[in-house]
């Protein structure tokens, strides 16, 4: 930290940042937010403190540049800062907390309980809605236009090995599978996979298979696939950036990743009734995650709907550490990009 001022600019700024972190509750908040994006309500439950008090601590940490805050509808999420003069210092402070600290251990146990509750809510939703999954999705997404746009983004000569991450009922395998030599879909829901297997058998897509797997720890060697698709999965993901990193890992150099999800919106009912973790994604946010994963994000396709807009972010696996171009943005109602 000395000499060059690499962590924060100037001694005064460094002292102010350290002062902001120099309190037990605020250190606990930094440690928790290093493990994922959390709301004030979730942090209040973990810390056992009042919401006004936790909010004041969070504001101090955000003002010091140690935490990032972003709002989605009526929810505000906090995470450890990823950019800025204090971001590196935030990580240093978190790493300096002893791993066996009893307070931290208890906080992380409570955090895991909250994450399990989230996962159980999502799993319950999938189980209850597996048979009418397409019916629910059709209320929000113009499926035919999305599928046609995806097919246009595939290479004209087709692809060799295709992976569908979060395959659900296998619809993407039905649509894109005929353009692949071999295709596999992964999902954690046995109910969804049971439906997918039936649909693939009915469609005689014998080269398409599904298997149960964790999308954050895909059971495939690095560089296994020529193309991958993440269709309407990102808004359920606990850690979208980690998901894209894992997807990039299993792609071959030059491999294509197609990410499909909603543009930012304010439909809180999707969070409350359908277990959506995020209310859409901005192009800049997805592009940043792609760059971190070694993916070059290309022209973004927007398919306007009422009230939701579907975005398709195509990205290509580049050499490790290669800079990625700023994405172009294209608004369309189904025309070829």
Question: Would you state the pLDDT for residue 136?
Answer: 55
pLDDT class of 1 with cuts at 50, 70, 90: very low
Percent of the chain with pLDDT strictly greater than 70: 85
**Cis? peptide before 280, omega within 30° of 0:** no
Bridge pairing between strands 67-72 and 75-80: antiparallel
Question: Which stretches does DSSP call E strand in the chain?
Answer: 38-39, 67-72, 75-80, 159-165, 180-187, 208-212, 225-231, 251-262, 295-297, 300-303, 310-317, 329-331
pLDDT, tens digit, for every residue of 277-300?
999 999 999 999 999 999 999 999
Domains 11-97 and 133-331 are alike in CATH topology: no
Give me the pLDDT at residue 331, please.
40
pLDDT of 295-330, one tens digit each?
999 999 999 887 889 999 999 999 764 433 334 444
pLDDT confidence of residue 325: 39
CB 79 within 8 A of CB 19: no
Is the Cβ–Cβ distance between 25 and 47 less than 8 Å? yes
Run of H or E residues at 28: helix 24-33
CA atoms within 13 A on the CB side of 105: 5
Pairing of strands 38-39, 75-80: antiparallel
Q: What are phi and psi of 184, to 5 degrees?
A: -135, 140
* Distance between CA atoms of residues 217 and 230, nearest Å: 15
Residue 328, SS3 per DSSP: coil
Output the average pLDDT for the chain: 86
What is the rounded average pLDDT of the residues 188-205?
A: 85
Summarize pLDDT for 133-161 with one digit per residue, the tens: 554 565 565 688 999 999 999 999 999 99
Q: Which residue has the higher pLDDT, 44 or 337?
A: 44
Model pLDDT, residue 187: 93
What pLDDT, in 10s, does the model give residues 46-76? 999 999 999 999 999 999 999 999 776 677 8
Q: Is the pLDDT of residue 273 over 50?
A: yes
Please answer whether residues 105 and 97 qualify as being in contact, where contact means their C-beta atoms are separated by less than 8 angstroms: no
Q: Which fold has domain 11-97?
A: Arc Repressor Mutant, subunit A (1.10.10)
The residue-averaged pLDDT of 243-261 equals 97
| DSSP at 221 | -
Report the pLDDT averaged over residues 257-267. 93
Residue ranges covered by each domain of the chain: 11-97, 133-331
Report the pLDDT value the prediction gives residue 131, as an integer from 0 to 100. 59
**3-state secondary structure at position 259:** strand
- The class (CATH top level) of 133-331 is alpha beta
């Amino acid at each position: 930290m000395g000499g060059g001022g690499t962590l924060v600019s100037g001694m005064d700024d460094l002292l102010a940042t350290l002062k902001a972190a120099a309190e037990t509750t605020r250190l606990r908040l930094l440690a928790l937010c290093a493990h994922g994006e959390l709301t004030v309500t979730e942090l209040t439950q973990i810390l056992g403190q009042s919401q006004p008090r936790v909010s004041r601590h969070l504001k101090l940490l955000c003002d010091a540049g140690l935490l990032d805050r972003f709002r989605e509808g009526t929810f505000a999420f906090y995470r450890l800062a990823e950019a800025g003069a204090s971001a590196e210092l935030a990580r240093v402070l978190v790493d300096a907390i002893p791993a066996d600290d009893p307070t931290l251990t208890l906080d992380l146990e409570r955090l895991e309980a909250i994450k399990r509750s989230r996962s159980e809510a999502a799993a319950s939703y999938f189980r209850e809605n597996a048979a009418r999954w397409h019916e629910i999705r059709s209320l929000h997404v113009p499926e035919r236009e999305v599928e046609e746009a995806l097919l246009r983004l595939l290479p004209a000569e087709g692809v060799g090995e295709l992976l569908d991450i979060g395959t659900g009922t296998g619809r993407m395998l039905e649509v894109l599978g005929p353009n692949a030599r071999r295709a596999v879909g992964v999902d954690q829901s046995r109910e969804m996979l049971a439906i997918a297997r039936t649909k693939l058998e009915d469609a005689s897509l014998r080269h398409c298979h599904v298997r149960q797997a964790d999308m954050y720890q895909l059971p495939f060697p690095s560089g296994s696939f020529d193309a991958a698709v993440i269709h309407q999965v990102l808004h359920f993901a606990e850690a979208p950036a980690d998901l894209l990193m894992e997807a990039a890992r299993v792609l071959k150099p030059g491999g294509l990743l197609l990410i499909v999800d909603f543009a930012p919106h304010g439909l809180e009912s999707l969070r409350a009734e359908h277990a959506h973790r995020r209310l859409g994604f901005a192009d800049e946010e997805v592009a940043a995650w792609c760059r971190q994963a070694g993916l070059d994000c290309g022209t973004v396709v927007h398919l306007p709907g009422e009230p939701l807009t579907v975005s398709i972010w195509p990205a290509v696996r580049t050499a490790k550490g290669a800079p990625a171009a700023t994405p172009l943005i294209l608004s369309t109602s189904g025309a070829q990009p």
